[in-house]
Amino acid sequence: MATSSLGQTEINWDKLDKTKFYVLGAGIFTGVTVGLYPVSVIKTRLQVATKDTAEKSASSVIRGILKTDGVPGLYRGFGTVIIGAVPARIIFLTALETTKVTAFKMVEPFKFSEPTQAALANGIAGMAASVCSQAVFVPIDVISQKLMVQGYSGHEKYNGGLDVARKIIRIDGIRGFYRGFGLSVMTYSPSSAVWWASYGSSQRIIWR
């Protein structure tokens, strides 16, 4: 760890134990994903349901999934998400910490207050990290969503994530993996910037 000119303890990226950093970060992310993934499956099915679909509410979707597929049905596409999202999370954390170091150097000459400098540096880092990670997150999201709704409400059935990927490439090419990429960046990058800016400035205010 190293102390910056802001008077606070910052992560020294060069001296950081990256193995522990990545293992801990990936582990926490995986745990959260396990808990929340069924919610994504239910939400996605509700979004693609037609007016003729019998399942009109979250509770009816859950009952339908449990009846036809059991608990594993709530985790359709989960393997694909974990395989792709762990590298994406590593990209996010790497971009966040490395960009944050550069961003602090950029804002220091302006002599803003410590909370403002921290908010700007963390906000820039959060936005940059989100943009970088979306390059991996979006293709994984496209594949996992197709797996979530396969065979439901007239949607095509697949033999796993690789089958989805092959069919996307055959029909749409590589561009098919990036449907909605622009909207994802527009949605998640600003929210990531706001979150990390708030986190950084709050640290400075609380630790004074």
Per-residue pLDDT tens digits for 69-91: 899 999 998 988 888 888 888 89
Q: What is the pLDDT of residue 14?
A: 64
Residue carrying the six token digits 């990036």: 178
Q: What is the pLDDT of residue 130?
A: 95
Closest of 199, 194, 78, 176 to residue 130, by C-alpha: 194
Q: How confident is the model at residue 103 (pLDDT cuts 50, 70, 90)?
A: very high
Closest of 192, 101, 177 to residue 145, by C-alpha: 177
Q: What is the pLDDT of residue 17?
A: 73
Task: Return phi, psi of residue 194, to 5°.
Answer: -65, -45
* Higher pLDDT pick, 138 / 29: 138
Q: What is the pLDDT of residue 122?
A: 95
Average pLDDT in the 53-59 region? 75
Look up residue 62 and give its amino acid.
I
Other CB atoms within 10 Å distance of the CB of residue 133: 24
Tokens of 95: 């971009």
d(C-alpha 61, C-alpha 49), whole Å: 10
Q: What is the pLDDT of residue 168?
A: 95
d(C-alpha 110, C-alpha 103), whole Å: 12
Q: What angle do CA 18, 101, 126 make, to 5 degrees?
A: 85
Q: What is the pLDDT of residue 165?
A: 94
Closest of 49, 30, 12 to residue 148, by C-alpha: 49
Residues shown for the chain: 208
Return left, alpha or beta for 180; rule: phi > 0 is left, psi -120 to 50 is alpha, else beta: left
pTM confidence score: 0.76
Does 169 have pLDDT greater than 80? yes
Does 30 have pLDDT greater than 60? yes
